[in-house]
Chains A and B, each alone.
Chain A
Amino acid sequence: MRAAGQGTGGAAGDADGPGGPGVPGGPGEAGAAGDGGPQGAGAARASGPGGGAPRVPRGSAASAQNGSCQCGARGAERRLVQLYLTMPFSSPMEAELVRRVLSPDATPLPRPGAVLKDFTVSGNLLFIRLTAADHRQLQLSISSCLQQLSLLMWIVQCFLPVFLALLHSGQRR
């Protein structure tokens, strides 16, 4: 999903993250699929049965900022599927607030196949990356994540005006 105003292109489900794969030749392209570097592998693209996420090379780590991934390659080659999502907010403060709300539940359970979630902020943009071992898990995680975001935005819309009013009047501690 691309943020409005960030240009077109890219398959559904793609979004440029900071240094993410993005559209070939587009901004933020860093690390070809399969190179095992951070944010480099397994970008989910709309593809047919013959395509799919690039394979992670044997023995290489994938996706996490420290180069390791709990659902990465174990023994035989494994496919990882990922979703990158960029969501714009009206201010960096809002983006950071949403990141702080969603991050506590991002820690994956210590079991095989748990979905990895990464939330980062740059300016007024929230970048979300979901990494899963199979498409079904990723689909479930995407659905859940979008529903959480929807609820969050609803709450923020309800209460942000009061929050900003208090902020400007200097009443927030």
Chain B
Amino acid sequence: MPAVLGFEGSANKIGVGVVRDGKVLANPRRTYVTPPGTGFLPGDTARHHRAVILDLLQEALTESGLTSQDIDCIAYTKGPGMGAPLVSVAVVARTVAQLWNKPLVGVNHCIGHIEMGRLITGATSPTVLYVSGGNTQVIAYSEHRYRIFGETIDIAVGNCLDRFARVLKISNDPSPGYNIEQMAKRGKKLVELPYTVKGMDVSFSGILSFIEDVAHRMLATGECTPEDLCFSLQETVFAMLVEITERAMAHCGSQEALIVGGVGCNVRLQEMMATMCQERGARLFATDERFCIDNGAMIAQAGWEMFQAGHRTPLSDSGVTQRYRTDEVEVTWRD
């Protein structure tokens, strides 16, 4: 019954999780929140992570009821993500692995989301919509790889939402995406925005530029409210995501869809995906904010699978990778 300790800190969330045999024993997390109108920078984010990571580690051990001797493996996010935060967390993982004399496993962040989604929901072989502030991909498993069927060709959908939140000076607490979602519920008018699906892929940078431009003009003239703009942006970008997910499902003949990543917490996105799945006779799976949003347990879970399959990361190979593709990993733990 191996127990794996997982460290996650690729963006502004830092988490330490403990997983043993499919059970999440601990999953404390902290979020680095910046003032409204600003985003988070690598150096400041890394500083935040360094300040709290030891407390989180102690919290995880206490919550799980385990000691260092009970841990069988240390997993950490090898990438993708922001460089300085990734390095800060990797340094801790390496140190702990050496002091406790435990093997080290570097985990792909995207695969962490997928494996946690599969564990929590029980989905067997879904088409995965992975949507967050840093990534937007449609993924399906085939022959020991998580294959990317479609993705953003520029910025992630969460990045589009977060940067729009800065334009309106929406609070970043608890997250800009959550606050946009709440405002969107009060929106009444649909503002027409560019709809940019390109085959299996999507593009969000043009939509962001457009809405940043019209926001100032339309709000100044009273043509619409900030709530209308939040509503319009969500409806547009989520419809695009539903379209490319459905296209991938049709291609794969898939009857399951799984949403993972921070943007996956959005209830409106889940509703729209559920409507599409219902029309196709497919099932939709999604997790709650504990596991949608970046967390340590998802790294621990993916690390657990990798550890059981014999993966080990030597110290010499334990550097981080800001660009780490989902399909670079050989998924030896699945048939």
Contact = CB atoms under 8 A, between A and B. Distances in A.
Interface residues of A, number: 25
Contact of B95 (A101, A103, A173): A101
Contacts of A102: 91
B269 interface: no
B315 A154 contact: no
A156 B99 contact: yes
Nearest to A154: B54
A151 interface: yes
Counting chain B residues whose Cβ lies within 8 A of the other chain, the interface size class is 20 to 34
B187 interface: no
A151 B94 contact: no
Given A105-B87, A173-B101, A155 B92 contact: yes
B90 interface: yes
B318 interface: yes
B98 A101 contact: yes
A151 B319 CA distance: 17
B101 A156 contact: no
A104 B98 CA distance: 14
A48 to B, nearest CB: 28
Nearest to A162: B68
B316 A104 contact: yes
Interface string B270-286: 00000000000000000
5 closest Cβ pairs, A-B complex: A104-B319, A101-B94, A163-B99, A159-B99, A104-B318
Given A104-B90, A151-B53, A160-B99, 10 more contacts: A97-B95, A100-B98, A101-B94, A103-B316, A105-B320, A151-B92, A155-B95, A159-B96, A159-B99, A166-B69
